[in-house]
Structure formats: C-alpha cells, structure tokens
C-alpha cells in the first residue's frame, strides 16, 4: 500500500479561500484509507517519501513545481483550469502578456511531469488536447461520511443562505431568491444570510440553522462548470438549494445526475421556486432526500480504484 500526503497551499491571508478545498481533501483521504493506503495532511509542505497530492497549482511558481517529488498529483477543483484556444505548445501563441506566458509554461511543465486529478471531465478533455506526457484522471466529487458534519437546528433562523465568494451575478440571484420574502411571510425569524470566507464549524453551524441555500455561477455570460465542490456539502447534509440556470447547461459541464436532481431556475422564477419549497413540507423533504441520494450514489472509493 502507498502513502498519500495531501498538502494545501495557503501562504497569504487572502489564500484563506483555499479552505474551501478541505471537504474534498478529507473525502479523498477517507476513501484512500478505505482502500488500505496511509494518508497524511499538511500545509505548504511535501513529503519526498510519499505520493504528494497538492492543492493548488496556481499558487506555486514554475521553479517550485519543477522541484516537486516525481509523480506528484495536483488536485484541481477550479471551475475552469484552462480555456480552449490555439496550440499552446507553440510559444508564439502565448501572447504578449508575460504573466500569461509564465502560467502556460507552468501548466505545460506540470502536465508533462505530474498528474492531475480533476473533478470535471470538461477540464480533463482540455488537458488531453494539449497532448500531455503524463496520465491525468477524472476524479468526480463523491460521497464520504466526512461530508456529513451539519447538525440541524429544530428551529431554523434563516430562510435562505449563500456561502462562497460573492459576485454580481451571485448577489443578483440571491436577491431574486429572497426579494418576495417578508418577516410575515418568511418561515424563519430572519430572511437570509450571506457567508464569504467562512469555513468549518462556524459555517456548518449557520448552515444547520438555514432552511435552504442559493447557488449560482460566478458569471452568467460564460460557460462554467457546475460548483459541485460546494454543493456536495449541501447535498450530503440534506440542505436543499436552488441553483441558477447556467449559461451552458451541457451535461459535461453540469453532470447528468445533477441535471436530473437539482432545481435550476432563472432569476425571474427564483422566488417562486423558493416559495414552493418553503410552503410545502413534503416537497421540501422529498427534495432533501433526492439531493442526498444523488451524492450518496457517487462512490468515491470505486472511483479511486480505477485511477490508482
């Protein structure tokens, strides 16, 4: 059996957002343990004697990537790793932006000398288009008991919660979800709450006090991979959420199981969709159960058996 060491790159205060990787890291560590492997975790450190799984590439320099132990693994949970474009193996296509050229040099070196575990098949197809010299693997977000952390309050304080990095589009969708809720109509004492850079037990305590959550891509006018990293935490803890209809709803970007389970809607019908859940306890419970069953059927242990 092998030793897998997970390391989270988090050097500056603004890197706190990398804590959003922790649920996925803990899930993978659990699954590897189920397969009999030794696992360990650290911050900003690698172990030369172990198979290192690193989050994330964007916070390392090219020199640091080149110094990593052979056969390291990069865990990618970003909604887009690379964008389709010209032949990036040709330096002439890197453009005049020096920072962009460095990013491409780093990526090309990485895919030729290390492997990616990518949660999105769409990202993996883009990596394969660059003809890498190392194998790279699709490791979709799956269920683990470590995800189930939220203790639900008997009395819910909030009708709608948002957590994550806010953007203009996410704010607009959150506003659409709550705009028709009043103190008289709402099912909880407070209407809504937004959490940014709040993780761990503090976030989970507030999630347990919330009726449902809103979810939207950062931008609406570009194709984005569905944010299953965040939503898996909601699904595993039976917290229903309303998702904004994406610019591109292709199953490769969203996930066929997510498409058939999650309630998507545009801003115009967001409040109607929220109300239908808040006003109908049986519908609400059925949706919670459906979300849980969806993530529960994603067998992370079986997935890792195919890539190790």
Last residue of a domain, one of 122, 139, 156: 139
Rounded to an integer, what is the distance from CA 34 to the centroid of its chain? 22
Q: Are residues 155 and 117 in the same domain?
A: no
Q: Are residues 126 and 151 in the same domain?
A: no
Q: Are residues 180 and 285 in the same domain?
A: yes
Nearest Cα residue to 219 out of 210, 227, 211, 207: 227
Q: Are residues 259 and 152 in the same domain?
A: yes
Q: Are residues 152 and 292 in the same domain?
A: yes
What pLDDT sits at residue 147?
A: 97
Alpha helices for 180-227 (secondary structure H): 200-207
pLDDT of 85 strictly over 90: no
What pLDDT sits at residue 261?
A: 98
Q: The domain spanning residue 165 has which CATH number?
A: 3.40.50.2000
pLDDT of 34 strictly over 70: yes
Q: What residues have CB less than 8 Å from 246, skipping those under 6 apart? A: 217, 220, 223, 224, 226, 253, 254, 264
Mutual angle of helices 22-34 and 228-236, in 10-degree steps: 70
Structural domain count of the chain: 2
As a whole number, mean pLDDT of residues 169-176 equals 95
Last residue of a domain, one of 110, 139, 168: 139
Task: Classify strands 263-265 and 241-244 as parallel, antiparallel or unpaired.
Answer: parallel
Q: Are residues 112 and 218 in the same domain?
A: no
Q: What residues have CB less than 8 Å from 150, skipping those under 6 apart? A: 204, 207, 208, 237, 239
Lowest-confidence range among 86-100, 148-162, 235-249? 86-100
pLDDT per residue over 182-212, tens digit each? Answer: 766 666 777 888 888 888 899 999 999 999 9
First-last CA distance in the chain: 11
Is 307 inside a domain boundary? no
Q: Are residues 165 and 190 in the same domain?
A: yes
Q: Which domain holds residue 249?
A: 147-296
What pLDDT sits at residue 198?
A: 87
As a whole number, mean pLDDT of residues 270-290 equals 96
As a whole number, mean pLDDT of residues 32-41 equals 98
Is 302 inside a domain boundary? no
DSSP 8-state code for residue 151: P
DSSP 12-78: SGGGGGGGGGHHHHHHHHHHHHHTT-EEEEEES---TTSEEEEE-GGGS-HHHHHTSPTT-EEEE--
Last residue of a domain, one of 107, 139, 171: 139
What pLDDT sits at residue 11?
A: 83
Is 24 inside a domain boundary? yes
Q: Are residues 200 and 69 in the same domain?
A: no
pLDDT of 38 strictly over 80: yes
pLDDT of 81 strictly over 60: no
Structural tokens at position 238: 């039976």
Lowest-confidence range among 153-157, 245-249, 299-303? 153-157
Q: Are residues 94 and 167 in the same domain?
A: no
Q: Are residues 81 and 102 in the same domain?
A: yes
Q: Are residues 122 and 157 in the same domain?
A: no
pLDDT of 166 strictly over 60: yes
What pLDDT sits at residue 58?
A: 87
């Amino acid at each position: 059996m092998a030793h897998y060491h997970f390391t989270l790159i988090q050097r500056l205060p603004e890197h706190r957002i990398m804590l959003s990787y922790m649920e996925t890291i803990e899930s993978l560590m659990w699954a590897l343990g189920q397969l009999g492997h030794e696992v360990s975790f650290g911050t900003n450190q690698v172990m030369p004697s172990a198979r290192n799984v690193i989050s994330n590439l964007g916070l390392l320099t090219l020199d640091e990537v080149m110094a990593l132990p052979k056969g390291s693994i990069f865990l990618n949970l970003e909604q887009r790793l690379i964008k389709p474009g010209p032949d990036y193996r040709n330096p002439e296509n890197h453009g005049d932006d020096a920072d962009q050229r460095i990013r491409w040099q780093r990526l090309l070196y990485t895919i030729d000398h290390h492997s990616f575990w990518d949660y999105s098949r769409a990202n993996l197809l883009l990596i394969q288009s660059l003809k890498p010299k190392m194998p790279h693997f699709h490791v979709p977000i799956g269920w683990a008991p470590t995800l189930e952390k939220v203790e639900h309050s008997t009395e819910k304080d909030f009708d709608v919660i948002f957590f994550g990095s806010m953007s203009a589009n996410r704010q607009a969708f959150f506003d659409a979800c709550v705009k028709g809720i009043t103190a008289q109509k709402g099912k909880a004492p407070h209407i809504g709450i937004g959490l940014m850079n709040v993780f761990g037990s503090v976030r989970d305590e507030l999630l347990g006090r919330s009726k449902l959550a809103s979810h939207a891509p950062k931008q609406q006018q570009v194709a984005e991979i569905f944010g299953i990293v965040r939503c898996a935490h909601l699904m595993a803890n039976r917290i229903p959420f309303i998702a904004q209809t994406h610019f591109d709803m292709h199953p490769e970007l969203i996930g066929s199981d997510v498409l058939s389970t999650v309630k998507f809607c545009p801003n115009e019908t967001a409040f109607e969709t929220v109300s239908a859940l808040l006003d109908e306890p049986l519908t609400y419970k059925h949706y919670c159960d459906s979300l849980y069953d969806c993530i529960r059927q994603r067998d992370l242990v079986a997935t890792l058996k195919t890539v190790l």
